[in-house]
Each structure stands twice: as structure tokens, then as C-alpha cells.
Amino acid sequence: MAEINKLKRQFYESSTLGLGRFCLKLGLTPNLLTAISLASAIVSGIYFWKAEVWWGVIWMLITAITDMLDGATARAGNMGTPFGGILDHVSDRYGEFFILAGITLSNMVHPGWGLFALFGMIIASYTRAAAESIGKIENCAVGIMGRLEKFTLIIIGALLEHYYPKMRILETALIIVGLTSYITSVQRLFYAHKLLNQKKD
């Protein structure tokens, strides 16, 4: 699993490098793109809260795209800094909160499932952060489902909910996001435990 995630990460970083160079030509910086991503997430959450699904989805897509571009731009311009990394991770968590809070308050789903998915995404990210900062593990981005896949699932669920509200598809998507997030958190704990034990040996 860890090797597969590593290969996926390498492919992702190499395939987005050209987009990062394009952003540099436009004068965009990684921190500016992070700020745009956070602002887009806030707008997306507001639209979801008002049950304006299409606008919520559009701004959520902008959030995902700019989140991808900030890392690509940092790599393309060799502009990555420790603070930039911290800012990116913190902004991502705020973004997830605003989007899922908006969905939770929209009456499109049961609030309990919204909170279930929200805490799941946060705890999966926190487990990785703890493993990398406290455990000094270089990369703990393992798990059954990443942030991009969860965003994709929510977007598909939201659009289908818009056209088939009686089927509760968005609620189902949030349940899946929550469950996979908790599984991811446990996978990361086991992965960290394994690596730390290897270091002892």
C-alpha cells in the first residue's frame, strides 16, 4: 500500500509540474494560491449552506484545483518552505471544515452524517501530521482514500442529490467519506507503528 501511494505521489507531482511553471509565468505564488483555495472553500460552503448545489460544486472544484496548483507551483519554482507547508495543511483543514459545515447546515443531509464525515477527514489528516512531526516519518500519506478522491465523491454525491433528492445520495457519499477517513487514520497509525519499530531495530 505504501509503495503504491508513493508511486501515485511521484506521478502526481511530475504530471503537475508543467501547470506549476505556467502559474509562475502568471506571477502566482504558492501562498497566494493557498489563500485563493481557502477563500474558494468558504464561498463553496456558503453556497452549499444555501442549498445552491451547482455553485457549491463549482467553488469546490476551484478549491481543489488551486490546492493542487499551490504545491505544483512551489515545486516548479523551488519555492517550498516549512511555513508554506504548514500554511497549506492548515488552510486545507479550514477549507474542509467550511465545505462540510455548509453541507451539514443545508438540510440536504442529516447533520450527524455531516459531522461524521467532517471529523473523519480531520482525524485522518491529523494522524498523518502527528506521524510526520512527532514520529519524524518522512511521508505518512498512506490510506484507502486520499483528499482528492473524497472531494470527488462529495461533488458527485452533491450533483446527484440535486437531481435525485429522495435517494439521499449526498448523505451516502458522506458516510463513505467518513468511513474511509477513519480507516485511513487506522492505516496510518499501523504504518507509523511499523516504521518506528523498524527504526528501533
Inform me whether the pLDDT recorded for 125 exceeds 60.
Answer: yes
pLDDT at 3: 60
Tell me the fold of 2-200. Answer: Four Helix Bundle (Hemerythrin (Met), subunit A) (1.20.120)
- On average, the pLDDT of the chain sits at 90
pLDDT at 173: 97
Quote the pTM value: 0.89
Inform me whether the pLDDT recorded for 109 exceeds 90.
Answer: yes
Closest by alpha carbon to 105, among 163, 62, 56? 56
Question: 98: number of CA atoms within 13 Å, CB side?
Answer: 21
CA gap 198, 181 in Å, rounded: 26
Inform me whether the pLDDT recorded for 95 exceeds 90.
Answer: yes
Closest by alpha carbon to 63, among 27, 36, 98? 36
Inform me whether the pLDDT recorded for 177 exceeds 80.
Answer: yes
Q: Do 188 and 194 form a contact (C-beta atoms < 8 A)?
A: no
pLDDT at 8: 64
Which stretch of 35-49, 131-145, 147-161, 165-179 has the lowest confidence by average pLDDT?
131-145
With 0-12 CB in 10 A as exposed, 13-18 as middle and 19+ as buried, what is 78? exposed
Provide the residue type at 40 as one letter: S
pLDDT mean over 30-57: 96
- For 33, residues 6+ apart whose C-beta sits below 8 A from its C-beta are 23, 66, 67, 69, 70, 73
- Which residues in 155-172 are b (16+ Cβ under 10 Å) and which e? bebbbbbbeeeeebbbbb
Which stretch of 32-36, 78-82, 108-112 has the lowest confidence by average pLDDT?
78-82
